[in-house]
Structure 1
């Protein structure tokens, strides 16, 4: 009996430790991403790490090690960038060229995937790390149960390949596809009408363009720009059940640095459901005090 009790105690302890070690992970409930992102009074504002990184020493943008670093500190949406190698492998890279973020040089679409694996990634200060460029497949498989992704598909990358990889990895429930115009959003919707799509809606006319192309409100996540929109614009979208992403990256992040991180709390109170930032950990700390 004593051994049974000790065994049960060990199992309980293991469960508790397992939960505590991953307590910050952003897990989508069984009712799905649509319901999870749907705006609702009292819901916590979600943080999106722009380029999956931030200005943190030793952690480059767009790599799994940086995603893990952030996700272990605060619940995160990871915004990340997809490029395509010469031999048609989907990898994570923001720029068309390798020079800024890797030890390589030249255009990504002129090199093979094998060559990318001979390179090391650099952080924002230019310091070389031991990390390598991951594939989209590895990123998606790692992220399930840990983060939600907003996937920025670069111009040379076919949406078909990205959606196919989402299907292959069964990560529809953690993936939002980023688009920059209504035509691309309609293309993604046609490829998979169940996927969530990030669409640029800075005014009602941009909403109408998406609506007229048949994209349902419950598939949209509205990027409202890198300037705060009016409260009326937030209300217009919220009444349709559309969650809103405010891009604080750039000037609004600089405002927070100058005036204090309390401004993030104000952005959230004004209507931002998600904020995309280059300062995800600082934002997380500020929102704790909301």
Structure 2
């Protein structure tokens, strides 16, 4: 009788542990490129946007991991900056470093391993703990993001054409944009498909002029990345970009995220004139700036909720 009871308990425990948990996530849904442009069009009515740097990693949730993106969306609507690199057999996967040790259980350079070889590796969280998550492919992330958010593909070693072809394959232009460091990179994507949109490095007036000289329409530049600090000295550049309808992004990750008293710093970034905060702490930023969202805005039309299984 005792053995039978233990057996029944074991079956129930396995059933409970294997049952998927349903969670609700906050999504940004863009069906057409025109939707994406409308959401990111700068207006004088402040509408802050949170960009989760590498997905917003934390304990239990590694960087550049789809489960982490979903966790972040369970806390706040957000867009995501993610990194992709190439394997030995030229498959694009999500990874920031050239080497595997810091963020995975693997060793050596990613470029020395095939896609099949890295399937056995597991991602590590921000504290170095091994998680159950494998390294996702860039294609996994592109497919996942549709109807959920916008992902911004950072510049690493994936050829520009490879990224462009993957986005075109999945008709993902409404929900995938490209980080570009200069006007030449933007021109490549624009010539490949004029639906390509950008998070562009525009740290100076000279850089701004270079995009115009290259013939890049400002409606294709959703975000101008101006650096890791927000100062009043940036006001002239901010004004020039805003007059062109472009939202301005400051990266809080290198400086502001590391401050002990961060709440006021996050608010000041927006008060200084920026519109997008890129951060390793998206949930904290969301809490700090929630009072700065307008009561009414057409941009709320793109905010939805979606139930998913973990």
Q: Quick check: TM above 0.5?
A: yes
Measured in 2, the distance between the counterparts of 1:25 and 1:161 equals 27
Structure 1 portions without partners, runs of 5+: 1-20
1:16 is aligned to none
Measured in 2, the distance between the counterparts of 1:179 and 1:237 equals 16
1:178 is aligned to 179
| 1:271 and 2:289 aligned | no
The alignment's C-alpha RMSD in Å is: 1.6
1:151 is aligned to 153
User: Normalised by the size of structure 1, how large is the TM-score?
Assistant: 0.88
2:243 is aligned to 239
Residue 252 of structure 1 deviates from its aligned partner by 2.1
- Looking at CA atoms only, which structure, 1 or 2, has the larger radius of gyration? 2
Measured in 2, the distance between the counterparts of 1:288 and 1:35 equals 21
Residue 22 of structure 1 deviates from its aligned partner by 4.5
Q: Tell me the SS of whatever aligns to 2:83.
A: strand
Residue 259 of structure 1 deviates from its aligned partner by 2.9
Measured in 2, the distance between the counterparts of 1:253 and 1:106 equals 30
Residue 191 of structure 1 deviates from its aligned partner by 1.4
Q: Tell me the SS of whatever aligns to 2:54.
A: helix
Measured in 2, the distance between the counterparts of 1:90 and 1:225 equals 27
Residue 118 of structure 1 deviates from its aligned partner by 0.6
2:107 is aligned to 105
Which deviates the most, 221-230 or 28-37?
Answer: 28-37
Structure 1 residues 84-103: Cα deviation after superposition (integer angstroms, max 9, x where no partner): 11111110000111111000
2:55 is aligned to 52
Q: Is the 8 A contact 2:186 2:198 kept in 1?
A: yes
Measured in 1, the distance between the counterparts of 2:190 and 2:31 equals 23
Q: Tell me the SS of whatever aligns to 1:224.
A: strand
1:36 is aligned to 39
Q: Is the 8 A contact 1:78 1:148 kept in 2?
A: yes
Structure 1 residues 48-81: Cα deviation after superposition (integer angstroms, max 9, x where no partner): 0111123x21100001000000011100101000
Residue 29 of structure 1 deviates from its aligned partner by 6.0
How many residues of Structure 1 are paired with residues of Structure 2 in the alignment?
A: 267
Residue 222 of structure 1 deviates from its aligned partner by 0.8
Q: Is the 8 A contact 1:85 1:110 kept in 2?
A: yes
1:166 is aligned to 167
| 1:251 and 2:252 aligned | no
1:218 is aligned to 219
1:187 is aligned to 188
Residue 32 of structure 1 deviates from its aligned partner by 2.1
2:10 is aligned to none
Q: Is the 8 A contact 1:52 1:63 kept in 2?
A: yes
1:10 is aligned to none
Residue 270 of structure 1 deviates from its aligned partner by 1.9
Q: Tell me the SS of whatever aligns to 1:276.
A: strand
Which deviates the most, 262-271 or 159-168?
Answer: 262-271
Residue 219 of structure 1 deviates from its aligned partner by 1.1
Residue 260 of structure 1 deviates from its aligned partner by 3.6
Structure 1 residues 116-136: Cα deviation after superposition (integer angstroms, max 9, x where no partner): 111000011111000000011
Measured in 2, the distance between the counterparts of 1:115 and 1:53 equals 26
1:4 is aligned to none
For 1:87-106, what aligned pairs fall within 5 Å after superposition? 87-106=89-108
Give the ranges of 4+ consecutive aligned residues of structure 1 lying more than 4 Å apart after TM superposition.
none
2:26 is aligned to 24
Q: Is the 8 A contact 1:197 1:219 kept in 2?
A: yes
Residue 23 of structure 1 deviates from its aligned partner by 6.0
Using CA pairs under 8 Å that are at least 6 residues apart, name the structure with larger relative contact order, 1 or 2.
Answer: 2
Q: Is the 8 A contact 1:59 1:123 kept in 2?
A: yes
Structure 2 portions without partners, runs of 5+: 1-22, 293-310
Q: Is the 8 A contact 1:144 1:171 kept in 2?
A: yes
